[in-house]
Amino acid sequence: MKKAAFLFFVLVLSACGNHERTGQRIISVSIAPFGYFAGQIAGDNFSVNVMVPAGANPHIYEPYPDQIDRLRRSEAYISNGYLGFEMAWMDRFLEINRSMKILNLGESIEPIENHDHHEGEHVEGADPHYWVSPLCAMKMASSVRDFLAELDPANRGEYEANYRALIRKTEQVDSMARELSLFEGSRTFMIYHPNLAYLARDYGLTEIAVENEGKEPSPSQLISLIDAAKRENIKMILVQREYDPRNARAVADETGARVEIIDPLSADWFASTTAVIQLLKAGFEEAKN
């Protein structure tokens, strides 16, 4: 049924023509943080079409017709490579725009294998949340710069300058994250959905996820989580904006921890990643005192 509905949208959009076309070149990206990197480097030369907007769950999201229309008119697509959303939709995206060039940012980083990560009917073979790590983000930015320069060689110098400005901002976040790796004391944190594994790997932290293989924890798993939170003296449990915080609150209520909402899928990568790192630092400091 999904494929039939999708093809119906394609036929309708094709019949409507290009009455919304502004003349500006379009790049589509999978998620809002990728839109941040594409927009920062592209400047005004490209309009960025985000397929999974901030606040939506990128594992199971289904795009709207206007997003499909802009995808149809895109010169290129910047892919995550591991998201359940793309596993479900990428073949259909290519059916309606066979000419668009593809950049898979998952090829820019060293993936964390995750054979048990189930989302709906799809198994994500690697953890898709690499953009939250500043080290991964710098590799992503380099790939986006090179990709844009290939698409638009005439503006290569502008993309290089924009890239360097973005790297300076990203290095600020990297510096803050490195402070976490030097923290004397427990560097273990708890989060509902395992969204920060790359940040943990790259900066010497330990992530404990409340969610297990894409499912809510069982009563026995909740007991284990409560024990772990007490053992590690965890004072804060992070919950992504897209998820129900009730299970995290159940652990927090039994341990005296508090729940903090984070937004790693924000369209403002710099602000959201900085906020995550600041919360982790505050939690580690509280656990130490």
User: For residue 93, is it within any domain?
Assistant: yes
Q: How many helices (H) and strands (E) does the chain have?
A: 10, 10
Q: Token digits for 257? A: 């921890």
pTM metric for this prediction: 0.88
Residues 163 and 210 in one domain: no
Amino acid at 205: L
Is the CB of residue 34 less than 8 Å from the CB of residue 265?
no
State which of 174, 192, 219 marks the end of a domain: 174
What is the band of 116 on the pLDDT scale with cuts at 50, 70, 90?
low
Q: How many residues does the chain have?
A: 289
Domain ends where: 111, 145, 174? 174
168 and 184, same structural domain?
A: no
Per-residue pLDDT tens for 26-52? Answer: 999 999 999 999 999 999 999 999 999
Report yes or no on 58 lying in a domain.
yes
Q: Check which CATH number belongs to the domain holding 261 and give it.
A: 3.40.50.1980
Other beta carbons within 10 Å of 162? 21
Strand (E) positions, 32-145? 46-52, 76-79, 101-104, 113-119, 122-126
The C-alpha atoms of residue 137 and residue 255 are separated, in whole angstroms, by 34
Residues 52 and 63 in one domain: yes
Same domain for 168 and 120: yes
Q: Where are the alpha helices (DSSP H) in 22-98?
A: 32-42, 65-72, 84-96
Please say whether the beta carbons of 92 and 68 come within 8 A: no
Residue % of the chain over a pLDDT of 90: 74
Q: What is the mean pLDDT of residues 207-232?
A: 90
Segments forming the whole domain that contains residue 19:
8-174
